[in-house]
Chains A and B, each alone.
Chain A
Amino acid sequence: MTAVNSVGAARELLREFPVVDGHNDLPWALREQVRYDLDARDIATAQNAHLHTDIPRLRAGGVGAQYWSVYVRSDLPDPVPATLEQIDCVRQLLARYPRDLRPALTAADMEAARGEGRIASLMGAEGGHSIANSLGTLRALYALGVRYLTLTHNDNVAWADSATDKPGVGGLSAFGREVVREMNRLGMLVDLSHVAATTMRDALDTSAAPVIFSHSSARAICDHPRNIPDDVLERLPVNGGMAMVTFVPKFVLQAAVDWTAAADENMRAHGFHHLDTTPEAMKAHRAFEEREPRPVATVSTVADHLDHMREVAGIDHLGIGGDYDGTAFTPDGLDDVSGYPHLVAELLDRGWSRPDLAKLTWQNAVRVLGAAEDVARDLQTTRGPSNATIESLDG
């Protein structure tokens, strides 16, 4: 248990170096719960009953920058329209809450937001399906402000393998590598959360810019395909990128991994998709939970991952990606976006120095985005937009 004074010290540290969080699914939650009726979920006020995220709790959690996920399900017949609606949702949030949320497209914008005491708001698209095999669509998403693309979600795309699907092209296809190169040229970060280890390695071989894991933890601590193997973590110092540790219990705690497998089975038995978060589906889930108590992850579980990741990748290559409002369950002490100080306090108790924690919470993420911008500026002097198509490269 962390000492009260550690939490105080953590809060003080976060005032100077707030949290950059790599992944938050508030837009999807707003789409599913109220179909973007932002009056029905006024995040300027407490939304504890419905959401992990609202502005008061972001403030309490010491969040200084947020990559809002513009995720859409990969099983939609055409994911592009829904992605545009998600982007519109974020833009509407920015227009509604200008005193708290500041649009951010660059590392300089993030620093400006910190200076103004506002929360830098960036966008990340979660899954290559959102570009529908089109580099033109990728560029349009960039133009709309999207600053990372997770190469896959839970399912393979035609050009990249997912961690949670059967092997397809065996990592990245030729077109997949072209997607990475075009992202480098644009200055859009390559996000390797959700992708297969083969895809991680191919992307690291291809990318001229630092990559990120927007919400992934260490496979050596908890053997789940969504986590990062050590050989990939070891490559981050050379690449310059970062792994943003996620809190999702079913990825970070072995007992929770096993329990989730059983819970998913229960959902399927009741006729729901295992990621369904509608009230009816959650009811079936709760019934299961009453029979089989859910193993509880804690702040300490997450800190164990960070300790290990730090040993393998180094302090300059770590960050935080909570996946709030994208996960049904959260660890004790990290129940919602107000919880980050508890994690920082735990790390203080474990002997992490203030400069190290400043890198974890703020500096690494700003450096990585800035580095991607530098690479893009260089590449744009020698290369125009790619016209490649998946047909021309993958046959």
Chain B
Amino acid sequence: MADLQHELHPFTEAGELDDLAESLPDPFEEPYTPVTDPDGTPLERAHALLAAHPVADGYSGLPWALRHRPWYDLELGESAVDTDVPRLREGRVGALLWSLHLPEGLDGDRAVGATLEQLDLVKTVVRRHPEGLRLACTAGETTDARNCGRIAVLLGPAGAAALGDSLGILRSLSALGLRVLTLSGVSWAGEAGLTRFGEEILREMNRLGVVADLSGASEETIRRALALSRTPVVCTRSAARALRPHPANLPDDLLAELGAAKGLCMVPLTAEQTGTTVRDVADHLDRVRTLAGPQCVGLSGTFDAGTAHPQELGDASCYPNLIAELLQRDWSEPDLALLTWGNVQRVLRGADFTARAAQLRREPSTARITDLDG
């Protein structure tokens, strides 16, 4: 109970949560108790570390990959996809964001209905695998799932087109459990940045606790969102552009700005964005950690999203290989614990608190795109 009261911080102003590191107790400020045997091999140590601090994975393409499969069993193992419960357990994954992104072509007129179908599919899949998976909407539920030995599944990111340019639809999707929304590919979050309506969407997302995902967003959108959002934003699939030119990778200055805003850059394990070896991925993680800070870097498997993966990181079971590599570099256990689990928890909890505070003082917005953007 004391613990809960400590966490709730009822008198924190919404804006103060921007400085979460100062206002909330950092669990790793306490003398950190190592969980790995310093004399073990890197792989043994990686497993021990992940057992205590599992991976909260920022992006899984599983919903679309399963959509047209007549039959699948994630509990026993499903060779047709890169993600199933045995491999998630082997890879020590404790939480997963399940993407509701739609393939190109479907993100136009029918995007709202298609997103509802994706949401429904995720709920159906999770319900069918109650021993392995559990739907989680908040930071608390994510921790609960882990404490029950279940892998938490969070809904999102969805594409901005899923909103059909309507705040009412955003609220309905949030009511269905949507937690993350990618701000790109729509008139109000394009190359020129957020329009007035786009800003209103972001304010309403803050009010609802829907986290802004800026991977693939234009630089203008990213800068505006960093300035405007009352709670940290994430990039669910972004690495360092200095190491690998890819439109979704972030240049060094933006990584530094993201770090200053206590956002979270989740580095994808894809050949396209991070390179073809474990060392390549580790290089990206090193750079993001250096520029944004250890509190602002995370992992994003990006499995089942139709992209090639680095060697030894081919499916959801491979995370220990990556953590072993980082242990051989200068990553400390506390930093690794933040990378795998702590940072995602911080962002979700921040969004939960901001939403609760905002709902006390802000009514649901009824703005329309035609009113604000003309």
B-chain residues with CB within 8 Å of residue A88 when the two chains form the complex: 168-169, 171-172, 175, 364
Q: Pick the contact of A81: B112, B118, B120, B171 (CB < 8 A).
A: B112
- In whole angstroms, what is the CA distance A95 to B207 when docked? 14
B-chain residues with CB within 8 Å of residue A81 when the two chains form the complex: 112, 164, 166, 169
Contact (Cβ within 8 A) A85 B124: no
B253 to chain A, nearest CB (A): 38
A-chain residues with CB within 8 Å of residue B113 when the two chains form the complex: 78, 80, 132, 134, 137
Q: Say yes or no: is B368 at the interface (Cβ < 8 Å to chain A).
A: yes
- In whole angstroms, what is the CA distance A140 to B124 when docked? 11
A-chain residues with CB within 8 Å of residue B112 when the two chains form the complex: 78, 80-81, 84
Q: Say yes or no: is A89 at the interface (Cβ < 8 Å to chain B).
A: yes
- In whole angstroms, what is the CA distance A387 to B70 when docked? 9
Contact (Cβ within 8 A) A134 B172: no
Q: Say yes or no: is B329 at the interface (Cβ < 8 Å to chain A).
A: no
A224 to chain B, nearest CB (A): 33
Question: Which A-chain residue is minimally distant from B110 (CB atoms)?
Answer: A78
Q: Say yes or no: is A37 at the interface (Cβ < 8 Å to chain B).
A: yes
Binary contact readout A70-90 vs B (1 if CB under 8 angstroms, 0 otherwise): 000000011011001101110
A-chain residues with CB within 8 Å of residue B116 when the two chains form the complex: 80, 84, 134, 136-137, 140
Binary contact readout A13-54 vs B (1 if CB under 8 angstroms, 0 otherwise): 000000000000000000000011110000000000000000
Q: Which of B148-190 contact A (CB under 8 A)?
A: 164, 166, 168-169, 171-173, 175-176
Q: Pick the contact of A78: B70, B109, B123, B368 (CB < 8 A).
A: B109
Q: Say yes or no: is B33 at the interface (Cβ < 8 Å to chain A).
A: no
With an 8 Å Cβ cutoff, the count of chain A residues facing the other chain is 27
Contact (Cβ within 8 A) B171 A91: yes
- In whole angstroms, what is the CA distance A36 to B365 when docked? 10
Question: Which A-chain residue is minimally distant from B69 (CB atoms)?
Answer: A387
Q: Pick the contact of A87: B70, B172, B368 (CB < 8 A).
A: B172
Contact (Cβ within 8 A) B117 A143: no
Q: Say yes or no: is A144 at the interface (Cβ < 8 Å to chain B).
A: yes
Q: Say yes or no: is A235 at the interface (Cβ < 8 Å to chain B).
A: no
A35-B368, A144-B176 as given contacts; A84 in contact with B109, CB under 8 Å = no
Q: Say yes or no: is A385 at the interface (Cβ < 8 Å to chain B).
A: yes
Q: Say yes or no: is B5 at the interface (Cβ < 8 Å to chain A).
A: no
- In whole angstroms, what is the CA distance A140 to B175 when docked? 10
Instruction: Classify the secondary structure of B's interface with A.
Output: helix
Q: Say yes or no: is A308 at the interface (Cβ < 8 Å to chain B).
A: no
A-chain residues with CB within 8 Å of residue B169 when the two chains form the complex: 81, 84-85, 88
The residue in A35, A37, A38, A137 that gathers the most chain B C-beta atoms within 10 A of its C-beta is A137
- In whole angstroms, what is the CA distance A84 to B171 when docked? 9
A304 to chain B, nearest CB (A): 41
With an 8 Å Cβ cutoff, the count of chain B residues facing the other chain is 26
B292 to chain A, nearest CB (A): 36
Q: Say yes or no: is A384 at the interface (Cβ < 8 Å to chain B).
A: yes
Binary contact readout B280-291 vs A (1 if CB under 8 angstroms, 0 otherwise): 000000000000
Binary contact readout A121-141 vs B (1 if CB under 8 angstroms, 0 otherwise): 000000000001010110110
Question: Which A-chain residue is minimally distant from B128 (CB atoms)?
Answer: A384
B-chain residues with CB within 8 Å of residue A36 when the two chains form the complex: 168, 366
Question: Which A-chain residue is minimally distant from B121 (CB atoms)?
Answer: A136
A80-B112, A385-B124 as given contacts; A85 in contact with B166, CB under 8 Å = yes
B-chain residues with CB within 8 Å of residue A89 when the two chains form the complex: 168
Contact (Cβ within 8 A) A140 B120: yes
Question: Which A-chain residue is minimally distant from B174 (CB atoms)?
Answer: A88
- In whole angstroms, what is the CA distance A134 to B168 when docked? 21
A140-B116, A384-B128 as given contacts; A77 in contact with B109, CB under 8 Å = yes
A-chain residues with CB within 8 Å of residue B70 when the two chains form the complex: 387
Contact (Cβ within 8 A) A139 B120: yes
B112 to chain A, nearest CB (A): 4
For chains A and B in complex, what number of residue pairs have CB atoms within 8 angstroms?
78
A138 to chain B, nearest CB (A): 9
Q: Say yes or no: is B119 at the interface (Cβ < 8 Å to chain A).
A: yes
A74 to chain B, nearest CB (A): 15
A-chain residues with CB within 8 Å of residue B128 when the two chains form the complex: 384
Contact (Cβ within 8 A) B176 A35: no
- In whole angstroms, what is the CA distance A224 to B132 when docked? 55
- In whole angstroms, what is the CA distance A143 to B121 when docked? 12
A317 to chain B, nearest CB (A): 33
B197 to chain A, nearest CB (A): 15
Q: Which of A140-170 contact B (CB under 8 A)?
A: 140, 143-144
B-chain residues with CB within 8 Å of residue A84 when the two chains form the complex: 112, 116, 164, 166, 168-169, 172-173
A253 to chain B, nearest CB (A): 37
A97 to chain B, nearest CB (A): 13
B-chain residues with CB within 8 Å of residue A384 when the two chains form the complex: 124, 128
A77 to chain B, nearest CB (A): 7
- In whole angstroms, what is the CA distance A88 to B168 when docked? 6
Binary contact readout B360-371 vs A (1 if CB under 8 angstroms, 0 otherwise): 000010101000
Question: Which B-chain residue is minimally distant from A137 (CB atoms)?
Answer: B116
A-chain residues with CB within 8 Å of residue B168 when the two chains form the complex: 36, 84-85, 88-89
Q: Pick the contact of B119: A78, A95, A140 (CB < 8 A).
A: A140
Question: Which A-chain residue is minimally distant from B359 (CB atoms)?
Answer: A95
- In whole angstroms, what is the CA distance A32 to B173 when docked? 22
Q: Pick the contact of A92: B118, B124, B364, B368 (CB < 8 A).
A: B364
- In whole angstroms, what is the CA distance A84 to B166 when docked? 9
B207 to chain A, nearest CB (A): 12
A84-B169, A85-B166, A88-B171 as given contacts; A140 in contact with B176, CB under 8 Å = yes
B-chain residues with CB within 8 Å of residue A38 when the two chains form the complex: 366
B-chain residues with CB within 8 Å of residue A80 when the two chains form the complex: 112-113, 116
B-chain residues with CB within 8 Å of residue A134 when the two chains form the complex: 113, 116-117
The residue in B118, B123, B168 that gathers the most chain A C-beta atoms within 10 A of its C-beta is B168
Question: Which A-chain residue is minimally distant from B113 (CB atoms)?
Answer: A80
- In whole angstroms, what is the CA distance A132 to B115 when docked? 13
A-chain residues with CB within 8 Å of residue B171 when the two chains form the complex: 88, 91-92
- In whole angstroms, what is the CA distance A88 to B117 when docked? 18
Q: Which of A342-395 contact B (CB under 8 A)?
A: 384-385, 387
- In whole angstroms, what is the CA distance A383 to B169 when docked? 30
- In whole angstroms, what is the CA distance A85 to B166 when docked? 8
- In whole angstroms, what is the CA distance A82 to B113 when docked? 11
Contact (Cβ within 8 A) B117 A137: yes
With A84-B169, A137-B120 given, name 11 new contacts (CB 8 A). A36-B366, A77-B109, A80-B112, A81-B112, A85-B166, A92-B171, A132-B113, A134-B113, A136-B121, A140-B119, A143-B176
Q: Can you offer 27 A-B residue contacts whose CB atoms are under 8 A? A: A35-B366, A78-B164, A81-B164, A84-B166, A84-B169, A84-B173, A85-B166, A87-B172, A88-B171, A88-B172, A91-B171, A91-B172, A92-B364, A132-B113, A134-B116, A136-B117, A136-B118, A137-B113, A140-B116, A140-B119, A140-B176, A143-B176, A144-B176, A384-B128, A385-B120, A385-B124, A387-B70
List the 4 closest pairs (A to B, CB-CB), nearest first. Answer: A136-B117, A85-B168, A88-B168, A81-B164
